[in-house]
Every structure is written in C-alpha cells, then in structure tokens.
Structure 1
Amino acid sequence: MKTIRLVALAAIGLLALSVAHAQKSGPSKTAPAPQLQTWMSPEVADAWKQGYKGSGVTVTVVDDFRSNQGLYGNLGQGTQLLRHGEWTLKEASMIAPSATMRAHDFNSGTSVGLSRGLNVLNLSYGMYAPAGYTASQIGWSSQESSIISHAQNGKAVISKAAGNDAIVIGSANASGQVDYLNLALKGAQSAIYVGALNTNGTTSAPASLASYSNTPGADAVVQQQFVVVGVDGAKTGLYGTSFAAPIISGYAAILGSKFTKSTPTQIANQLLKTARQDTISGYNPATHGRGEASITRALAPVSIQ
C-alpha cells in the first residue's frame, strides 16, 4: 500500500483566530430544558415534544479539540470563541440534548472506539493529499482506518461534511488536493455525506445550495448517500458544511432514541430516504443528492428497516 502524506483540514471556510480561553467539551451535569434556536429547523422542536432527544445514543465528534485556533460564533447562547471541534460538538448536542457526547481530537491518530448502543460519528473535516491516487492507496492511520471500517461494516452512523470547495465530491479542488476520506466512504453502508443549504427550506420559501458546498455530481452511488441541511451563517456567524454535519449527527441520535433496536445502517437509510425535495429551489440529485433531511418524516413510521 502506498503511503502518502495526508493533511487533516476542518471543513470550514473561515479564518481561524487565536483562542484566548478554550472551553472544555463534553456533557453538562445539569442539562437545562432545550430551546429551539433560530438556526434550527422547527422540526427539531416537534421531535423534542414527542420525547425524542437522543437518549441512549453516543455521538463522537472527531475534530479539533487541542489547537490554539478558534472561531467566533453564536448558536443562540451569546458570542463565543471556541475551537472548531467545540463548535461542532456544541451544535450536535443542542440538536440532541439527551445524547452522550464524546470528543476525539482529529490529530490523535488513535482508533475511534464505540460505546454500547447506537453510535454516531461526526466528521467535520477531510483528509487531503494531491490528486492522482485511490482511497485504497492511502496509508491510513488507525483513526481513519477505524472510521472507514465502522462505516463499511455498518457499526456507526457516519455524518461526513461534504466539503467547501464548491466541487463534486472526489474531485480535486483549486489547489489540486482531494479529500480522500470522502473517497474512502463512498458506498459505505452507514455513511452520509452532508452538504449545506443557505438556510432551512420550506415549501413556501425553498432554500438554495450554499455557494461553497460540495455536491454529489453525476455519481449515483454518492447521490444516494448525500443529503443537505440549512446552515444559516447569517444568524450564527458559522459557515461551512462543518456545521451541516452536526445537524445530521443530532438527527441520527434523535432517530436512534425512538428506534432503539435499529442498526446504524437502518438509521442512516431512514434519514436518506425521507429527505424532501419540495423545500429546495431547483432540486437536482446531482446538486442536492436525496434532498433536505427531515427529522419529522424520519420519525413518522412505527418501525424502520
């Protein structure tokens, strides 16, 4: 197997700033009642009202938790300066407030372990190297090897940020770099690629694809694994598919708290097949994949397969 140098990059399109006071990640001992924020889909509140908030599900966020780089943003709790991973973990935890949240630094290189019950892995980063290789030629670290294995074997729901180069997944960006982690997850049974809309769509006000979001392109396999959600950076100050993936991670946790005996593959498939197209302006599978994820539609049946 050919080993090439991979660089892990968070899937954001913002300039990182120095972190003055980093907050610790992880669940709070006293969880306040969740509040629907303006950046969330109103469907989230409907799920909470039904009693589904992610209980019994573990969400592991593989991201930057150790660097001295951060971003200013506001998810409805006041402006804060946090590391990229602290933001993505916070976002997923606000969607699924009863889920167990775990932080795994993406530069650790160590295997990502799984907990009892349903596991969801949030990947708001990519592994980049020059174009010209296949995913099988990459000498993966134990971290990415474990993630890819979990996805291929259906051991965890994988929510992967599609990327912010405004290109088709798997193609080279303007710098000639390819996200090989995206390539490695193609066809994996429990992996979802997540693109970004500019806001949450409705039938009366359909949303458009965010200008930076990568797309599935003509590949039918990638299209079947691809959904979009609204990333309202005008409200949060946070832009990028980095902040689309945690929404799907939260949705997967919510779904798992209802369908407690379902497998990660069943949860992933339910989110994909219940996505809607009528809330997207000019819906096209090559651009939007399966459509905009709908937690209400995903929760609707009595059981899933």
Structure 2
Amino acid sequence: MTFKGMALAGIAAVTLSLSAGVAGAQVLQDWMSDDVADAWADDYKGQGVSVTVIDDFTSNDRFRGNLGEGSKKWTHGMWTGRQIMLLAPEADFYAKNFTSNSAVQLHSGLDVLNLSYGMYIPKRFPTGAIPWGAREESIIEYAQTGQAVVVKAAGNDAVAIGDAVGGSIDQLNMALVGGESTLFVGALEHNGTVDNPAYLADYSNYAGDNAEVQENFLVVGVEGDITGLYGTSFAAPVVSGYAAILGSKFTTATPEDITNRLLDTARTDTVADYDVAVHGQGEASLSRALAPNTIN
C-alpha cells in the first residue's frame, strides 16, 4: 500500500511504520476470513483504490494489540489503518489526523473512507441543524451523493443506531442514514461460518427498526481474542478492506455499486439468530461479492 497526501506534516514516520512489510508476500492472519486469501490469489489486492482513514494518528493515547506481526503499542488510527493495509496491501492509503478539520479530499479511482469514530451530540439538537465542520460536512456529502464508499463503525454502546446514550446520540451516524454509499458496520464475536455461526458482540450497536439503517448495515467478525482489539472500530476496517479489494476487480464500478454489492451478497446463514433489526443485511462475504464478472 502506497502512502500519499498525508493530512499533516510530521506523521510520515507513523505511516512509514504502518507500511513496513506490506509490499511483500501477503500472509493470511488468523483474524481474517479465508476469503481474503482467495482474493489475493486472483490478484485483487486493492490496486487502483484510494483509502482514507480519518482517525487519531499522533496522540499519546496508545494501546497494545497484535495483528499477527507481534505485540505493538499504537494509536487508534495506526491500528485501523494497519488493518486495512494488511487486507488491501496494494491500495493507496491517505491518513487524515483528527487534528485536521479541513475537508476530506477525494482522489482518482474509487475512494473508500473509513470512520472508526462517532460524534456524540445531545439528542435535543436536530441532526439536520448541526453546524458540521468541513471534515464531517465533506464526508456526509460524499456518502449522500455516492462519491465515496463511506464505512462507518456502528458504535460500542449496545444500542440501536439512533438511540441515545446518556442523552446524546452519535449524530454522525444519523447524518449518514440514507446515503447512497453509506455502510454501517457492527461487530460479530468472531468470523461466522455455517457450522459455527457468530453472535453479535455484546458491546456492538445494532441496526434497530429504521429500515434505511437496516438496508445499509453489515456485520463482520472481530477476533479480539486473537488481536487484543475489540470494538466496531475494528469491524469497519474489515469492510473498508473488502471494498478496496472489490474495487481492484471491478475497476469501473462506482462507490454506490461497491456498496450495494457488499450489501446484496451478505450472508445470513453464518449469523446466529439472524434478525434484520440486529444484523441488517448480514455478514459481509468477500467471496460472494467478488463472484460475478461484472457488477455494472
């Protein structure tokens, strides 16, 4: 994965450390679905796709995890970014640090934006009246108009999207509802299979009764017992990686095409007690999404 267009001067050292070792032979890590190895074997590795991770890359708030490369102590953005890089190693990566509130820039080819964060604002404020900064304003526009695949972590409050927690809701979730290329992602306790279906992780937010949310909601396994990383923050990068892999096969597909393909091919037979109000469209399936010769 190539690093381009860093959002802030001074994070080059961080991004270089994230890219170390990605360019060589890919290794299927235990936290990944077996579908990823099949995609790599067919040379679908994210090439021609731009992935922008909006996250914390530079703060002193670091925690330990292991994505199969040894224990490291990294910022939240370093972890989410590295996850995507390991899944889609030939995509172009753009890191936008939280301290930059400028608009998110789009690039040539398919754009994927990974949002492993929320914006909690008191519920009494109507979503449509919130004065978003340039960063969120651009993200919302790209999702609503289908200019980028916008992958949003559902949240870790064990509530339906749109429900209040302590009087506040993730207003960014609500602003993305109905977007042409929005994907909300919840966490399963592990990668599900037909023989071993997975339950929703006990911390994960779920789709709820809003039909527009249900239509754009996916789940994937978060293998925290392997990586030490728990939360929907680490479910969203899996779907971002899948979107990048799809874009490297379907090179003329629009963000809406990629979004709909992931939603239309999600599995319900690998999810325990599947319910559209909990799991949305089901568990994202890379193999099913890659199956056709064309999607547009």
* TM bucket, shorter chain: over 0.9
Alpha-carbon contact 1:23-1:82 (below 8 Å) kept: no
Aligned counterparts of 1:261 and 1:201: Cα–Cα separation in 2: 31
Aligned-pair distance for 1:71?
Answer: 1.2
User: Could you tell me which residue of structure 2 aligns to residue 221 of structure 1?
Assistant: 212
If the length of structure 1 is used for normalisation, what is the TM-score?
A: 0.91
Matches within 5 A, 1:58-73: 58-73=50-65
- 5+ unaligned residues in a row in structure 2: which ranges? 1-11
Is residue 2:141 matched to residue 1:149?
yes
Q: CA RMSD of the aligned region, Å?
A: 1.3
Q: Is the 8 A contact 1:58 1:101 kept in 2?
A: yes
Q: Write the distance in 1 (CA, Å) between the matches of 2:177 and 2:124.
A: 17
Partner Cα distance (1:288, 1:93) in 2: 26
Q: Distance in 2 between matches of 1:251 and 1:229?
A: 11
1:34 aligns with 26
Q: Is the partner of 2:14 in helix, strand or coil?
A: coil
Is the Cα contact below 8 Å between 1:112 and 1:143 reproduced in 2? yes
Q: Provide, for residues 157-182 of structure 1, a one-character-per-residue CA deviation record: whole Å limited to 9, x for no partner.
A: 00100000000101111x22210000
Matches within 5 A, 1:82-161: 82-161=74-153
Match of 2:15 in 1: 25
Q: Name the CA distance, whole Å, in 1 between partners of 2:136 and 2:250.
A: 28
* Partner residue of 1:191 out of 167, 182, 188: 182
> Separation in 1 of the partners of 2:289 and 2:145?
22
Q: Which moved more, 1:145-154 or 1:125-134?
A: 125-134
- Residues in 1 aligned to 2:255 and 2:30: alpha-carbon distance in whole angstroms: 29
In structure 1, give the amino acid aligned to 2:196: A
Task: After TM superposition, give the deviation of residue 266 of structure 1 in Å.
Answer: 0.4
In structure 1, the partner of 2:158 is 166
Q: Provide the rounded CA distance (Å) in 1 between the counterparts of 2:119 and 2:224.
A: 24
Counterparts of 1:40 and 1:180, CA distance in 2:
30
**2:276 counterpart letter in structure 1:** P
Shift of 1:107: 3.0
Q: Deviations over 1:4-40 (max 9, x none)?
A: xxxxxxxxxxxxxxxxxx9612545971111000000
Kindly tell me the number of residue pairs found equivalent between the two proteins: 283
Kindly provide the amino acid, as one letter, of the partner of residue 93 in structure 1.
M
Residues 22 and 86 in structure 2, CA contact (< 8 A), matched pair in contact too: no
Mind listing any 5+ residue stretches in structure 1 that lack a counterpart? 1-21
Higher helix share: 2
Structure 1 ranges of 4+ moved more than 2 A: 26-30
TM-score by length of 2: 0.93
Whether contact under 8 Å (1:274, 1:293) holds in the other structure is yes
* Cross-structure match for 1:264: 255
In structure 2, the partner of 1:236 is: 227
Contact 1:23 1:86 in 2 (8 A): no
CA distance in 2, matches of 1:184, 1:117: 25
Percent identity of equivalent pairs: 55
Cα deviations by residue, 1:256-299 (Å, 9 ceiling, x for unpaired):
00000000000010001100000010000000000000000000
- Structure 1 residue 50: Cα displacement: 1.0
Q: Residue type matched to 1:25 in 2?
A: T
Counterpart Cα distance in 2 of 1:121 and 1:37: 23
Q: Name the residue aligned to 2:3.
A: none
Deviation of 1:130 after TM superposition, in Å, equals 1.3
Give the aligned partner of residue 297 of structure 1: 288
Deviation at 1:246, TM superposition (A): 0.3
